[in-house]
Amino acid sequence: METTPMMISLMALLAVFFLPLFPFSMVFNTVLRAVRLVWLRAALLLIWPQIGVWLISGASMHLSQAWTSAVLAWATGTSLFYAWRMLSTRDLDIWIGFYASSAWALAWIGVIGGAGAIELSAVMACLSVTVLALALVSHCLCNRWGDVYVGLRPGLARAMPRLGAATTLSVLAALGAPVFPVFFAMIYLLSLSNAATVVSVLIVWLLWSWAGAQIWQGFLFGVPHAEYVFKSAVHDIPVFWTVLAALLAVAVIVAASLWSMTWLMH
């Protein structure tokens, strides 16, 4: 079926919801907070940006130079806005939504830079699986405590060492540390960026690191409250293996991410 200009416009409009640009990104964050079932939330985090990739690929937009600059500014502005918001929130679930909004907005760099549908889908998969690992850690913490507020219950590394290790690795993956998928996704997006966009993306990356340090400081360090220290480490094992499965999924997608390094050689 031939794609009409009206259909292209509609698909592009819908794409800004699924590759979220502010203020349309508020829809995703509202939906994420409303979904409480962990596996439904996992499906949402994996599928949501892929719908955006499908829409933008179907639209096959060819933007003028003026529109290209405007979309890039909108995308990097959205990413910077949510990266900054990550610094001010103490609810880990909200933090995860802000991180996803900040990261997924950067997909528009790939759209403007001419990335193909497969490449763009791979980038979004790298980002989404990392968000999923964070979401599962948050779910485990919520099951233990009933809430996930940064700084309210310190000493996770001492109280629950396995879950503390999983939290550390999940945040490292989200920050784009080398070997983790986000690192390769960010390197690829930087290779498609102009000088101004590169500076914006690097600032976003820096803000992510700052926000991640706050998570570590608020959860991992300090003296744990006595009521949250396990009498037996056996109780922590099922939670640990649940989170470890998510981290293994992150490790598996690293192998798919490695080939992205070859793009830099072209």
pLDDT tens per residue across span 119-155: 888 888 888 888 888 888 888 777 776 667 766 666 6
Q: Measured between alpha carbons, how far is residue 64 from residues 23, 67, 69, 71, 106 in Å?
A: 23, 5, 9, 11, 19
Which positions ≥6 away from 232 have C-beta within 8 Å?
none
Q: Is residue 51 part of a domain?
A: no
- pLDDT per position as a tens digit, 1-46: 455 666 666 777 777 888 888 888 898 888 888 888 878 888 888 8
Asked, for residue 27, whether it belongs to a domain, the answer is no
Do the domain assignments include residue 204? yes
Residue 231: its pLDDT value, please? 44
* 244 located within any domain: yes
Please write the tens of the pLDDT for every residue from 85-122. Answer: 988 888 888 888 999 999 999 988 888 877 777 888 88
The C-alpha atoms of residue 128 and residue 48 are separated, in whole angstroms, by 9
Give the pLDDT confidence score for residue 71 in this predicted structure.
Answer: 82
User: Has residue 86 been placed in a domain?
Assistant: yes
| Cβ atoms 94, 49 nearer than 8 A | no
Q: Find, among 61, 151, 156, 159, the residue nearest to 112 by Cα.
A: 61
Where residue 199 falls (left for φ over 0; alpha for ψ -120 to 50; beta otherwise) is: alpha
- In tens, the pLDDT along 220-265 reads 666 555 555 544 444 444 555 555 555 555 555 554 554 544 444 4
Note the pLDDT of residue 252.
Answer: 56
Domain count for the chain, please give it. Answer: 1
- Among 142, 167, 137, residue whose Cα is nearest residue 152: 142
- Domain assignment of residue 176, yes or no: yes
| 99, 12 contact by CB (below 8 A) | no
Number of residues assigned to the chain: 266
Angle (CA) 172 177 183, round 5°: 125
Q: Where is average pLDDT lowest: 53-57, 91-95, 164-168, 198-202?
A: 164-168
55 falls within a domain? no
Judge contact between 190 and 115, C-beta under 8 A: no
* Over residues 156-174, mean pLDDT: 75
Residue 41 falls within a domain, yes or no? no
pLDDT of the residue at 264? 46
Q: For 165-193, what is the mean pLDDT? A: 82
> What is the rounded average pLDDT of the residues 160-173?
77
pLDDT band of residue 206 (cuts 50, 70, 90) is: very high
Per-residue pLDDT at 234: 42
- C-alpha torsion angle, residues 95, 97, 98, 101 (rounded to 10): 160
Give the pLDDT of residue 3.
56
Q: What is the pTM of this model?
A: 0.82
Q: pLDDT tier at 66 (50, 70, 90 boundaries)?
A: low
Domain holding 253, by residue range, is 65-265
